C-alpha cells in the first residue's frame, strides 16, 4: 500500500530520558511516525522531556494525575522505592491505566473515525488490559507485549530480595475487567518471545506476530573504530563488561564471584556499570577477595558512555535469570561484543545459533561454575570470541535497528488494511 495509514498510538509510558520501557516507547513511536500519519496519546508527565527533543510527532497529553499520582506513591511506599517489587507496581498501575485510555476516548469523542488503526504500544505487560479495545471500530493492535517469565525455583533468595511475593497472584489478571475483550478484539497481537506467547492462550496463531520490543540506535551503538572482540585490550588482557541495574534477579555479583574463584580470570579485567541495591553486596565480595586490581565498579553511565565501553571491552557478561527483553544484549552485539548470558528468557534466545555463549540454568553454584567456565573459555580463545561476535553483530544489524522496527510495524498495518494476513511478517 502507498497511502500512509492514519494511526492513533497509545503510549502511556513514552519518555526520551527515562530508561527501559519509557524510552523504548518513545523511540518506537518516533519510527512509526516516519512511515505513518501518527497521533500519539501519552501522559502529561512525559511532556517536559518530550518537548526537549525534535520528535516530529503530533501529540496529545492526557492528565490523569488525580489517580496516577496517589497510586504511584502508594506503590512506591509499599515497594520501599522503585528498584524492586515489580509485581506490586503492575497491580497499582491497573486503575491508572484504565483511566488513561478512558481519557483518550473522551478527548477524541466523535472524532475517532479520523484514524484507520488504533495501536497500544505501552504498557507492554500482558497483565494490563486495554479499556479502549472494546470501544473502537477500527482494527486494534496491541504490543509488542512481553511478560510471563517464571522465577527459577533455585533463586528463591533473589526473589525474596526483589520483594516479588505477589508474583504468585499474576494469573489473576486474566479475570480482570477488560482482560478478555482486549485480546478477543485485537486484530493483531505483537508478541516478543515464546514465554509471552504461552501466556496468551485466548489468541489464535493467526493473530500473533513474533515481534520483540527491543531495538537499538545505530548512531550510538556500533563498532566503528573498534578492534574485533578478543583483540581489544592494549594491555594483553581480555576485558569483560557487565552493564545493567544492580538488582537481585540480574545476578550482578556472579561475574565478580567468577573472578574471585579463578586465578586465570584474575589475569584479565571485569568492568561493572550500573547502580542499585546489590552494590554493597558486590563491593563486599571485591573487598573480601582482594579484587580491586581486576574488578572496577564504574557506577552509572549514560547510554553514550556505555556504548563507548562496549567498543573497548571484549565480552559482555549478563547472567540475569529473569530477563524479559534484554535490549542491552542487542546493544552489546551491535557494538561487536562477544556475549555470555544465562540460557533463559530473552538473552538465551538472542545468543542462540552460536551468536554467544549460553550458561545453563541451575542453582547459584551451578551457574557460577558455568559462567566461570564460559569466561575462562572466552579468555583462552579470542578467535572464537571474534567469530561469535561477528555472527551476533550481523544478527543485530539486520533485525533490531529502530528503523527496522518501524518498517516491520508498517508492514503489519498494511496487512491489516489489505486483509492479506500476517504470514512472513515479524521476526
| Sheet bearing 239-243, strands edge to edge | 295-299, 269-273, 239-243, 315-318, 338-342, 357-359
Structural domain includes residue 221: no
Domain region containing 370: 239-398
Number of residues that this document lists for the chain: 427
Query: 414 and 394 in one domain?
Result: no
Each of the 427 residues of the chain gets a pLDDT tens digit; together they read 568 999 999 999 999 999 888 999 999 999 999 999 999 999 999 999 999 998 889 999 999 999 999 999 998 898 888 777 778 888 889 999 999 999 999 999 889 999 999 999 999 999 999 999 999 999 999 999 998 888 888 888 887 888 888 888 888 889 999 999 999 999 999 999 888 998 999 999 999 999 999 999 999 999 999 999 999 988 999 999 999 999 999 999 999 999 999 999 999 999 999 999 999 999 999 999 999 999 999 999 999 999 999 999 999 999 999 888 899 999 999 999 999 999 999 999 999 999 999 999 999 999 999 999 999 999 999 999 999 999 999 999 999 999 999 999 999 999 999 999 898 888 8
Query: 246 and 203 in one domain?
Result: no
Cell (9 digits) for 340: 555470555
Query: 159 and 61 in one domain?
Result: yes
**Cβ atoms within 10 A of the Cβ of 155, count?**
20
Cell (9 digits) for 74: 502508594
Query: 373 and 406 in one domain?
Result: no
Work out how many domains the chain is built from and give that number. 2
| Sheet bearing 6-11, strands edge to edge | 58-62, 37-43, 6-11, 117-122, 140-145, 186-191, 208-210
Q: Which of 133, 148, 123 is nearest to 187 (CA)?
A: 133
Q: Which of 106, 119, 146 is nearest to 38 (CA)?
A: 119
Q: Is residue 295 within 8 Å of residue 259, measured between CB atoms?
A: yes
Query: 156 and 102 in one domain?
Result: yes
Q: What counts of helices (H) and strands (E) characterise the chain? A: 15, 13
Structural domain includes residue 291: yes
At residue 240, the 3 state secondary structure works out as strand
Structural domain includes residue 231: no
Q: Which of 184, 214, 197, 194 is nearest to 20 (CA)?
A: 214
Cell (9 digits) for 197: 506467547
Residue 378 gets the label, from left (phi > 0), alpha (psi -120 to 50) or beta, of: alpha
394: Cβ contacts below 8 Å, ≥ 6 apart? none
Q: Which of 42, 39, 191 is nearest to 117 (CA)?
A: 39
Query: 406 and 390 in one domain?
Result: no
Grid cell 496463531 is found at 205
Query: 312 and 185 in one domain?
Result: no
Query: 260 and 186 in one domain?
Result: no
Query: 178 and 39 in one domain?
Result: yes
Judge residue 226's burial from the number of C-beta atoms within 10 Å of its C-beta, 0-12 exposed, 13-18 middle, 19 or more buried: middle
Query: 274 and 186 in one domain?
Result: no
Structural domain includes residue 232: no
Query: 263 and 133 in one domain?
Result: no
Grid cell 556472579 is found at 254
Structural domain includes residue 328: yes
The radius of gyration of the chain's CA atoms, rounded to the nearest angstrom, is 22
Query: 306 and 189 in one domain?
Result: no
Structural domain includes residue 388: yes
Q: Is residue 345 within 8 Å of residue 196, measured between CB atoms?
A: no
The predicted pLDDT at position 1 comes to 52
Structural domain includes residue 426: no
How many whole angstroms separate alpha carbon 17 and alpha carbon 56? Answer: 17
For residue 139, what are the CA distances in angstroms to 128, 185, 188, 300?
Answer: 19, 8, 8, 42
How many whole angstroms separate alpha carbon 289 and alpha carbon 257? Answer: 9
CATH number of the domain that residue 329 is part of: 3.40.50.2000
Backbone angles phi, psi at 326, to 5 degrees: 65, 50
Structural domain includes residue 233: no
Amino acid at each position: 500500500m502507498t497511502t500512509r495509514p492514519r494511526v492513533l498510538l497509545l503510549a502511556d509510558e513514552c519518555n526520551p530520558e527515562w530508561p527501559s520501557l519509557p524510552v523504548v516507547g518513545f523511540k518506537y513511536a518516533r519510527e512509526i511516525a516516519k512511515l505513518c500519519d501518527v497521533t500519539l496519546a501519552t501522559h502529561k508527565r512525559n511532556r517536559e522531556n518530550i518537548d526537549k527533543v525534535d520528535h516530529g510527532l503530533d501529540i496529545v497529553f492526557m492528565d490523569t494525575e488525580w489517580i496516577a499520582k496517589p497510586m504511584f506513591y502508594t506503590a512506591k511506599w509499599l515497594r520501599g522505592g522503585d528498584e524492586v517489587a515489580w509485581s506490586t507496581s503492575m497491580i497499582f498501575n491497573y486503575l491508572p491505566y484504565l483511566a488513561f485510555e478512558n481519557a483518550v476516548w473522551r478527548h477524541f469523542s466523535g472524532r475517532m473515525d479520523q484514524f484507520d488503526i488504533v495501536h497500544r504500544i505501552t504498557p507492554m505487560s500482558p497483565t494490563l488490559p486495554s479499556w479502549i479495545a472494546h470501544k473502537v471500530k477500527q482494527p486494534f493492535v496491541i504490543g509488542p507485549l512481553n511478560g510471563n517469565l517464571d522465577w527459577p525455583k533455585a533463586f528463591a533468595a533473589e526473589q525474596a530480595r526483589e520483594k516479588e511475593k505477589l508474583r504468585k497472584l499474576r494469573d489473576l489478571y486474566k479475570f480482570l475487567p477488560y482482560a478478555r475483550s482486549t485480546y478477543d478484539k485485537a486484530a493483531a497481537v505483537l508478541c516478543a518471545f515464546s514465554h509471552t506467547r504461552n501466556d496468551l492462550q485466548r489468541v489464535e496463531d493467526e493473530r500473533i506476530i513474533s515481534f520483540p520490543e527491543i531495538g537499538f540506535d545505530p548512531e550510538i551503538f556500533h563498532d566503528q573504530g573498534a578492534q574485533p572482540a578478543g583483540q581489544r585490550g592494549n594491555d594483553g588482557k581480555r576485558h569483560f563488561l557487565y552493564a545493567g541495574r544492580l538488582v537481585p534477579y540480574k545476578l550482578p555479583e556472579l561475574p565478580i564471584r567468577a573472578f574471585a574463584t579463578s586465578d586465570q580470570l584474575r589475569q584479565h579485567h571485569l568492568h561493572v556499570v550500573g547502580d542499585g541495591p546489590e552494590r554493597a553486596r558486590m563491593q563486599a565480595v571485591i573487598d573480601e577477595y582482594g579484587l580491586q586490581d581486576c574488578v572496577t565498579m564504574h557506577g552509572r553511565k549514560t547510554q553514550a558512555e556505555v556504548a563507548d565501553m562496549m567498543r573497548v571491552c571484549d565480552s559482555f557478561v549478563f547472567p540475569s535469570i529473569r530477563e524479559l527483553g534484554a535490549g542491552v544484549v542487542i546493544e552489546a552485539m551491535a557494538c561487536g561484543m562477544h556475549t555470555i548470558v544465562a540460557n533463559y528468557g530473552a538473552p538465551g534466545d538472542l545468543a542462540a545459533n552460536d551468536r554467544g555463549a549460553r550458561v545453563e540454568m541451575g542453582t547459584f553454584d551451578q551457574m557460577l561454575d558455568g559462567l566461570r567456565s564460559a569466561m575462562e573459555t572466552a579468555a583462552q580463545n579470542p578467535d572464537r570470541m571474534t567469530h561469535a561476535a561477528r555472527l551476533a553483530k550481523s544478527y543485530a544489524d539486520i533485525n533490531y535497528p529502530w528503523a527496522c522496527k518501524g518498517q516491520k510495524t508498517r508492514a503489519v498495518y498494511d496487512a491489516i488494511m489489505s486483509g492479506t494476513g500476517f504470514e512472513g511478517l515479524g521476526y
